[in-house]
Amino acid sequence: MSVDKFSTVQVLYPPKYSVRMLRSSFLGLIATVCAAFNGHVGLQLLAVLVTIFSVNHWRNPLKNSWRRSADILLANSSFAYHVYLATSIRSSYVWLAALFWVLAACCYINAVRWGTSKFKGTEVAYDNASKYHVGLHTLATIGNCIFYSIL
């Protein structure tokens, strides 16, 4: 889909980069299995919903779409809920899950920085931003699996 920069519907990434986020979105299924294995049905449902919304967005990543808005809203709400649950945990290992979440947040910040830098719209920006976004998906999944095992 070719769209000019003045269109109300803009593609966030060229397909050769967006496929990275699409594939890494499926990592959410690992978190779903971890939640199920540890008997957390509600978190299992939340993980599968986040995965579905993420895959739905990254299959055709448009800047001004309801799919992107829904993905961001659900992912941020899920993150906030996980942090809320973590504050009630008395395990000494909760810091490990939190560490992975912080690293995931750092990846998100770097992805946004590359997407809005002076290199915006260049191959190097797409490449680096997409790699950081894959890091976000990977580290968040690891953090969630650790969290589900201590919850």
Are 60 and 4 in contact by the 8 Å Cβ rule? The answer is no
Rounded-to-integer distance, Cα 28 and Cα 30, Å: 5
3-state secondary structure of 120: coil
pLDDT in the model for residue 119: 87
Q: Give tens-digit pLDDT for 66-75.
A: 999 999 999 9
Q: Give this prediction's pTM.
A: 0.90
CA angle 49, 79, 9 (to 5 degrees): 65
In the predicted model, what is the mean pLDDT of the chain?
93
Q: Give tens-digit pLDDT for 71-105.
A: 999 999 999 999 999 999 988 899 999 999 999 99
Segment 45-70 mean pLDDT: 96
